[in-house]
Amino acid sequence: MSRKPQPPAREAEKDQREQLSLLVPLKPAAPLAPRAPEPALAPPLPAPAPPPAPRIYSVTELLRAARATLESRFVDVRVEGEISGLKRSGPGHIYFCLKDEEGQLDCVLFARESSRLKFELKEGMAVRCRGRLTLYEARGKFQMTLVDIEPTGAGALALAFEQLKQRLGAAGLFDAGRKRPQPFLPRRLGVVTSPQGAVVRDIIRIAHRRFPLPIVVSPTPVQGDGAALAIASALRRIEAMADVDVVIVARGGGSLEDLWAFNEEPVARAIFACRVPVISAVGHETDFTIADFVADLRAATPSAAAERVVQAKDALLARVTGLERRSSAALRLQLARVRARVEATRAHRVFAAERGRLQVAAQHVDDLVHRAGAGLLRRTERGRDHARRLRERLAGFGLDRQLAVRRERVETRSARLSALAREQAERRRAALGRLTASLDGLSPLAVLSRGYAVVFEGDGARVLRDAAETAPGARLRIRLARGGLRATVESREDE
């Protein structure tokens, strides 16, 4: 008959007792020498001395001895297994069992070490632990005190990145609907980065080259312990400035450890709460951080961020010129439409009867112009001869002064003529506007646009002018300035 296997807990307790029994070996009692045959008449021998009494330990002494032996021998141990029974205490200590297929080991990670973890421990996670073996004297419990823990397979930072990304995504920090557009031309640009290095110099150089706008830098460390809290504080300082319209959070390239400050929750929360749009420009184009997902816009590099924020002055001037051209073209189109309406009005049959007389008058005017031109030429020749004779007579006279007086008189009259021409053009333009307004006022649609409506019978054959022309239940069609309505008469009110 086979022996029934003992439970794993009893086997572990038995092994523990066997190990503890080896800690302080006891001296066995000295064996008794074989008794020699007594002589017949010899006196009796004295009784042998009793063996020394074994040392008796107290429970505390035994546990302390076992603990000292374990801690001195197993100082720096590394072990792999699966987390089971994960518990967290109020002060931040973490307790769990590390187990495999055949056994389990109690582990404790105190608050000082657990606060440095970059990822979150979960039930069933495969991890690699480093620490020392010890004995918890209050319960006589064999356990391992950990100083470091990391997941097997994916690295600790990669796992922490995915865990934080999932948690913040579930909280709505990555929603595309809350992304804000960047301002067209910000009053002041804010930059959160290290004051040393090429990043801040590149941003300032590119921004000033494209458009000279004010820039304020909120300095902060961008890597190392405490960098995440410093970045969040610098972002809150710069968003408190009233004239800052957009902020660039920037850092140069580096490894995942170098960029880790931008993967921490304080930075993500500060970007999410910022009152102005935030552009993330961390690392190179292939680097992605949590800040990139929370920010309103991600730029591949800090230089690209400066180019995205600051519009080029030449491009702005070209855009303004294009808008001016479009405005001029729209004005010319509107004038052409007005001119077409005037021509259509002029071609109306009302003016057809007068057109013949106008053409005869125009021909007469042309004849007069031709005759006047010929007479003007003759008079010009006579005037030229007369001027020549006057020049000869006035050769010694102060002609320059009189010419200046005459020139001034001519300029004055020319200015008056120009003013009269402009005034006449304005009067003609005003008259044209009045004619246009009169035409619009005579249109039935213009009456409807002022809030009136035309009511027809249901088939639209007759316009209703009196409430007595219809009865309750009758169907009506109502014509408005834009579109129409179908209605049914519920009651009639006769005046």
In a domain, 479, yes or no: yes
User: Do residues 200 and 91 both lie within one domain?
Assistant: no
| Domain edge (last residue) among 289, 311, 333 | 311
User: Do residues 285 and 190 both lie within one domain?
Assistant: yes
User: Do residues 303 and 320 both lie within one domain?
Assistant: no
Task: Please check whether residue 279 is in contact with residue 179, taking contact to mean a CB–CB distance below 8 angstroms.
Answer: no
Question: pLDDT tens across 33-78, in order?
Answer: 455 555 555 567 777 777 777 878 888 888 888 888 888 888 888 8
In a domain, 11, yes or no: no
Whole-angstrom Cα distance, residue 113 to residue 105?
Answer: 19
In a domain, 214, yes or no: yes
Give the model's pLDDT for residue 355. Answer: 67
In a domain, 4, yes or no: no
Give the model's pLDDT for residue 339. Answer: 85
User: Do residues 66 and 139 both lie within one domain?
Assistant: yes
| Domain edge (last residue) among 119, 153, 187 | 153
User: How distant is the alpha carbon of residue 55 from its chain centre?
Assistant: 75
User: Do residues 68 and 148 both lie within one domain?
Assistant: yes
Task: Please check whether residue 124 is in contact with residue 83, taking contact to mean a CB–CB distance below 8 angstroms.
Answer: yes
Whole-angstrom Cα distance, residue 279 to residue 249?
Answer: 6
Classify the phi-psi angles of 224: left when phi > 0, otherwise alpha if psi is within -120 to 50, otherwise beta: left
Q: Half-sphere exposure (CA, 13 Å, Cβ side) for 356?
A: 3
- What does the H/E/C string look like for 59-72? HHHHHHHHHHHHHH
Task: Please check whether residue 225 is in contact with residue 322, taking contact to mean a CB–CB distance below 8 angstroms.
Answer: no
Per-residue tens of pLDDT for the chain, all 495 residues: 334 444 444 454 555 454 444 444 444 444 444 555 555 555 677 777 777 778 788 888 888 888 888 888 888 888 988 888 888 888 889 999 888 888 888 999 998 888 888 778 888 788 889 998 988 888 888 889 898 888 876 556 777 787 888 888 888 888 888 888 888 888 889 999 988 878 888 888 888 888 888 888 989 998 888 888 999 999 999 988 888 889 999 888 877 778 888 888 899 999 998 999 999 988 887 778 888 898 998 888 888 888 888 775 666 677 777 888 888 888 888 888 888 888 777 776 666 666 667 777 777 887 888 888 888 888 888 888 888 887 777 665 666 777 777 888 899 998 899 889 889 989 898 888 888 877 776 777 677 777 778 888 877 778 888 877 888 888 888 888 788 888 888 888 776
In a domain, 18, yes or no: no
In a domain, 428, yes or no: no
| CA distances, 424 to each of 8, 298, 332, 336 (Å) | 115, 61, 22, 21
Closest to 217 (Cα-Cα) out of 182, 179, 190: 190
- Amino acid 289 reads T
Residues shown for the chain: 495
Burial tier of 228 (Cβ tally within 10 Å: 0-12, 13-18, 19+): buried
User: Do residues 228 and 321 both lie within one domain?
Assistant: no
In a domain, 483, yes or no: yes
172: which DSSP letter? Answer: T
Give the model's pLDDT for residue 29. Answer: 43
User: Do residues 213 and 270 both lie within one domain?
Assistant: yes
Q: At what angle do helices 198-210 and 302-309 cross, to 10 degrees?
A: 30
User: Do residues 144 and 206 both lie within one domain?
Assistant: no
Give the model's pLDDT for residue 278. Answer: 92
User: Do residues 196 and 300 both lie within one domain?
Assistant: yes
User: Do residues 110 and 86 both lie within one domain?
Assistant: yes
| Domain edge (last residue) among 257, 292, 311 | 311
In a domain, 95, yes or no: yes
Q: What is the CATH number of the domain that holds 76?
A: 2.40.50.140
- Amino acid 60 reads T
Domain that holds residue 320: 315-344
Q: What is the CATH number of the domain that holds 230?
A: 3.40.50.10550
User: Do residues 270 and 285 both lie within one domain?
Assistant: yes
The total domain count for the chain is 4
DSSP β-bridge partners for residue 486: 477
Task: Please check whether residue 319 is in contact with residue 218, taking contact to mean a CB–CB distance below 8 angstroms.
Answer: no
User: Do residues 241 and 122 both lie within one domain?
Assistant: no
Report which secondary-structure segment, H or E, holds 246.
strand 246-251
- Amino acid 315 reads A
Q: Which two tokens stand for residue 22?
A: 């080896």
Burial tier of 147 (Cβ tally within 10 Å: 0-12, 13-18, 19+): middle
